[in-house]
Amino acid sequence: MDMDGMAQRAQGWLEQLTVWLQSPAFLAQLAAIALAIVIAPIVASIIKRAIPMLRIAPADDASLYKLRFVLFRAGKFLRAILLVGLLAVAAILLRGMEPLGEDWLVKIAQSLAVVFLVYRAIKVFVDDPLWRKVAIWTLVPLALLAVLGYFDDLTAALEAVSLGEDSAITLLAVIRLGLFGALFFWLGSLGNERGQSAIRAQESLDVGAREILAKLLQIGVFAAVVFLAFGAAGIPLSGLAVAVGAVGLGIGLGLQPIAANFVSGLIILLDRSVKVGDFVMLEGDVFGRVKAINMRSTTVATADGKDIIVPNTHFTESSYENWTHDSPLQRYEVDFGVSYDTDLDALVPLVRDAVLEHPDVLAEPDEPSVEFRNFGDSSINMCVEFWCQGIDDGPNKFTSDVGFIIWRTLKANNIEIPFPQRVTYQIPMPRAEKGKGR
């Protein structure tokens, strides 16, 4: 280690620092930086007091919730924003002063403040811990290289690395594709979500048409995302053709089920055999209401809060029951039994009129029908058939309510609801056999 050389360099730095400390221009820049650091939090506090949405989180049902939420989060690094702005103003003022006329130190401080601003924005806006780390370890170093003036050198080095001898795709283009692809995919997801919500809110369209338009919007948005990402990365469309060819080869080799489910989803939406809101029964007595029809699968929500993910091909290749395909009208039945002493001719209108009083029981297409089923071992087995609008599931308790009505009606009219009975006969033994046993 050359101690003399190090001592000489340290002596040179000390002399340069002494010259700077004796320079009014350097001292003015130090004062401007210190003043900006002191003023930024004071002005940020004043602005937050004047604009409540910068310091108070908006309610979930507030108007323009997304915009107000972004402003609220931006208020958390308002000091960093003001610091960058104040340093920029200070640099302009110092350049305009004839005795001073230097702003290089303020520019360095402003560049570091920009890096700090990027760091604070990532900490505030990126909630996921993994993506936050990725953003910090990529965007912050890039911002630092940019403010130090080495960003152009880095891009030139990456541009020189080509993926193949005759390929126009460089390592820089691939990195840009990843960055712009992630950005456009995120923006596309937000736009797709908002667009689908707006389409599904159009009550003038029926449910099937809304779902078709929503899915077409989804396909269009993500197709546009792909083209925009390739364009922003500077990759020619021939590169996109290669990627599409690779995807086609993948479909031919092992992605047939995914492609089949995708096509089946489009068929379901176009022929409207299944719509969002339909009540379906699948194999194995699995039933529920269709919650969403996605690109690969259909989500069926059961009454006990479970979501069943069903491949779209199931609805195009297998049988299933759609209870609400054409009409929400459903017919239900409740069985009951009465004793053999019951006057059935009087029982029928009695139970029918009582069931018809239920507010959800309909008189059309048919009134409630009390029917004879069979002669049971202990009772005459009867049945009530009735029509309701909707599924006997969740908030609807049609069969349960009618069962209570029948029970109350029978009790009020002293009609016996029998229970199984057995009569046992004991055959007496002959006297001769009794004597033998002694």
One-letter-per-residue 3-state SS of 372-419: EEEECCCCEEEEEEEEEECCCCCCCCHHHHHHHHHHHHHHHCCCCCCC
- Number of domains composing the chain: 4
Q: Which of 300, 322, 344 is the last residue of a domain?
A: 322
At 321, the amino acid letter reads E
Average pLDDT, the chain: 78
Question: Is 344 found in the same domain as 313?
Answer: no
pLDDT per position as a tens digit, 221-269: 888 888 888 777 777 666 556 556 655 655 555 567 777 777 787 777 7
Model pLDDT, residue 15:
62
Q: Which of 118, 149, 180 is the last residue of a domain?
A: 149
Which position has the higher pLDDT, 40 or 154? 40
Please indicate, yes or no, if residue 423 is contained in any of the structural domains.
no
Question: Is 43 found in the same domain as 127?
Answer: yes
Question: Is 367 found in the same domain as 343?
Answer: yes
Question: Is 136 found in the same domain as 28?
Answer: yes
pLDDT per position as a tens digit, 27-83: 787 888 888 888 888 888 888 888 888 878 878 777 777 778 878 888 887 888 888
SS3 category, 300:
strand
Please indicate, yes or no, if residue 422 is contained in any of the structural domains.
no
Please indicate, yes or no, if residue 67 is contained in any of the structural domains.
yes
Model pLDDT, residue 383:
93
Model pLDDT, residue 407:
92
Question: Is 364 found in the same domain as 302?
Answer: no
Q: Which region holds residue 259: left if phi is over 0, alpha if psi is between -120 and 50, else beta?
A: alpha
Please indicate, yes or no, if residue 156 is contained in any of the structural domains.
no
Model pLDDT, residue 266:
75
Question: Is 40 found in the same domain as 139?
Answer: yes
Question: Is 125 found in the same domain as 218?
Answer: no
pLDDT of 334 over the 80 cut: yes
User: Domain of 337: which CATH number?
Assistant: 3.30.70.100
Q: Which of 322, 346, 363 is the last residue of a domain?
A: 322
- Find the domain containing 110 and state its range: 21-149
Please indicate, yes or no, if residue 40 is contained in any of the structural domains.
yes
Question: Is 225 found in the same domain as 142?
Answer: no
Please indicate, yes or no, if residue 432 is contained in any of the structural domains.
no
Q: Which of 323-342 are b and which e, b meaning 16 or more Cβ less than 10 Å from the residue's Cβ?
A: bbeeeeebeeebebbbeeeb
Vertex 97 angle, CA 95 and 100, to 5°: 80
Question: Is 289 found in the same domain as 239?
Answer: no
pLDDT band of 132, cuts 50, 70, 90: confident
Rg of the chain on CA atoms, in Å: 39
Please indicate, yes or no, if residue 164 is contained in any of the structural domains.
no
Question: Is 220 found in the same domain as 298?
Answer: no
At 396, the amino acid letter reads N
Question: Is 369 found in the same domain as 309?
Answer: no
Model pLDDT, residue 7:
66
Question: Is 348 found in the same domain as 299?
Answer: no
